[in-house]
Amino acid sequence: MASFTRKAIMEAFLGLLEERPLSKITVKDIVEDCGINRNTFYYHFEDIPALVEAISREMVDRLIQDGTQIGSLEECLNVAIGFVLRYRRPALHIYCSANRDIYERYLMKMCDYVVRRMFDTAFDMSGMSELDREVLIQAHRCQCFGLFVEWLDGGLKDDFKASMLRLCELRRGTLERIVEQAGGKYTGQIQ
């Protein structure tokens, strides 16, 4: 029952975030929406920021458990873009709130996951030093994160995906050369 109630609270909150900014949502709004009392809300969540964190963590964990194969920079960006677009309005409302740091922390975790999956799928990095591997992952994770923050700052405009795919076209072959220079091998997974 507790799991059902917790999920109902999260769904009610996401529904309210579709309609209005986070600063305009109260615990009273959430409990009225799901038909529970305030004590039940506080049994599951300390406050609204704890609810935001729980939802963010659960969404990223769901993405990670999905185990999607990511064999190219394009696929990497498609997974990340799809993740953000699935919850476009709530993402913007949380990002533009005082709880932005929570959203950014989980966005970074999502970027780390998709970048690592890309490298693990597309490259044999066994001949590469651990330092070089982590430097490459860090650089691409931070680039991915920066691109997403800029997209969020711009209000999640629709042209982002086309711009990112064009960037991938322009960079084609660059990542393969960098990995090979560091002692890794391209496995032929990137199309």
pLDDT in tens, 111-160: 898 888 888 877 888 888 899 989 999 998 998 899 889 999 999 887 88
173 vs 9, more confident:
9
pLDDT in tens, 58-108: 888 877 777 666 666 677 677 778 878 888 899 899 999 988 898 899 889
What does the DSSP 8-state code read for residue 94? H
The amino acid sitting at 74 is E
- Contacts for 186 with CB less than 8 Å, ≥ 6 apart: 122, 123, 176, 179, 180
Model confidence at 186, pLDDT cuts 50, 70, 90, reads low
Question: What are the b/e assignments for 131-140, b being 16+ CB within 10 Å?
Answer: ebbeebbeeb
Q: Give the whole-angstrom CA distance, residue 98 versus residue 140.
A: 27
pLDDT of residue 30: 96
190, pLDDT greater than 50:
no
Distance, CA of 168 to chain centre: 19
Angle 80-105-122 (CA atoms, 0-180°, nearest 5)? 40
Q: What is the mean pLDDT of residues 43-72?
A: 82
What does the DSSP 8-state code read for residue 24? G
pLDDT of residue 188: 57
CB of 187 closer than 8 Å to CB of 123:
yes
